[in-house]
């Protein structure tokens, strides 16, 4: 492993000796390391089980957030496909985390500014990943069609294959899909989305400034990002106040929020199991009950 890292560092222009290497937190999917050489500090992710293009997708997402969305992210230094005796690898700048909590107001403004970057189409030119699961990004000018066919239905298919979709759950899901335009037919602009915006995917640098990490980018309704921030918590009232001051929300967000949270709950159902089933059912029954 150390040899693989040394080889990769040489390819990005750091041939100096590795002085320190230690495992650090980097999510449940990858093996992550802090690496210090004579000249630099690096954050390195490795994965011998990653799907084709896994780290390439993350690198693309980080670069989009930085260059198009004007967000602070770790700078991508190198990305390597899996080869014989060498796992797939992503090399990022090392960002020293500060002792102070992140400035949530600044985070809110940064996300709002990121959402100001828009596209004619929902989706992205390339498919990518959300967590360890594939995320389909087939571009579409029709938001309802895109969200149904590229977000909800692929996750429902995975859930059915895993045995998480019983008759009642599938029946409610199909009804929600059939009338999806009732819930999200408001014609949103297609904003640049982080795509996996929960409290574990931002950090605070030494100055307390926010840094976004681990994106699953695409263009879509900005409310999808915001809905996920509210699903598991971790974002302060100041975050939302700063966001809304920069970019007020459209009327009806509260009613649409659960349908956007459904996507992430289906993902959690597929990764972690039936413990998320009741939450999926609650949202499905909420919308199906309105028909």
Pairing of strands 133-135, 76-80: unpaired
User: Cα(8)–Cα(89) distance, rounded to whole angstroms?
Assistant: 8
Distance CA 238, CA 4 (A): 44
- Sorted by sequence, the CB contacts under 8 Å of residue 28 that are 6+ apart come out as none
CB-based contacts of 237, cutoff 8 Å, min separation 6? none
Cβ atoms of 69 and 191 within 8 Å: the answer is no
- Assign 3 to helix, strand or coil: helix
Element (H, E) at 132: none
Contacts for 74-82 with beta carbons within 8 Å, 24 or more apart?
Answer: 74/43, 74/211, 74/213, 77/12, 77/42, 78/8, 78/9, 78/11, 78/12, 79/55, 80/8, 80/11, 80/55, 81/55, 81/56, 82/48, 82/50
Which one of the listed residues 14, 85, 127, 196 is annotated catalytic?
196
Q: Is 31 a catalytic residue?
A: no
Rounded distance between C-alpha atoms, residue 47 and residue 65, angstroms: 23
Task: Identify each DSSP E strand in the chain by its residue range.
Answer: 18-24, 31-37, 41-47, 76-80, 88-93, 118-119, 128-130, 133-135, 190-193, 202-204, 210-212, 218-220
Which pair of structure tokens corresponds to residue 74?
A: 């770790």
- Enumerate the active-site residues: 196
């Amino acid at each position: 492993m150390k040899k693989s890292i040394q080889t990769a560092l040489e390819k990005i222009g750091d041939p100096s000796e590795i002085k320190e290497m230690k495992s650090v937190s980097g999510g449940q999917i990858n093996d992550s390391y802090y690496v210090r050489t004579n000249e630099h500090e690096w954050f390195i992710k490795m994965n011998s089980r990653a799907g084709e293009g896994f780290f390439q997708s993350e690198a693309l997402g980080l670069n989009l957030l930085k260059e198009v969305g004007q967000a602070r992210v770790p700078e991508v230094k190198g990305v390597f496909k899996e080869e014989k005796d060498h796992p797939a690898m992503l090399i990022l700048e090392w960002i020293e985390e500060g002792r102070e909590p992140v400035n949530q107001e600044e985070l809110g403004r940064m996300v709002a500014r990121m959402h100001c970057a828009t596209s004619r189409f929902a989706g992205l030119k390339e498919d990518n990943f959300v967590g360890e699961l594939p995320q389909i990004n087939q571009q579409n000018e029709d938001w309802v069609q895109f969200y149904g066919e590229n977000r909800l239905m692929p996750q429902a298919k995975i859930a059915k294959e895993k045995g998480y979709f019983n008759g009642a759950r599938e029946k409610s899901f199909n009804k929600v899909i059939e009338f999806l335009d009732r819930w999200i037919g408001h014609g949103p602009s297609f904003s640049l989305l982080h795509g996996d915006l929960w409290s574990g995917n931002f950090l605070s640098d030494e100055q307390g400034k926010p840094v976004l990490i681990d994106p699953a980018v695409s263009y879509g309704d900005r409310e999808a990002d915001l809905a996920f921030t509210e699903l598991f918590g971790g974002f302060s009232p100041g975050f939302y106040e700063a966001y809304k001051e920069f970019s007020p929300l459209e009327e009806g967000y509260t009613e649409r929020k659960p349908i956007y949270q459904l996507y992430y709950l289906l993902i959690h159902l597929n990764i972690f199991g039936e413990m998320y089933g009741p939450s999926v059912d609650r949202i499905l029954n909420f919308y199906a009950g309105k028909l």
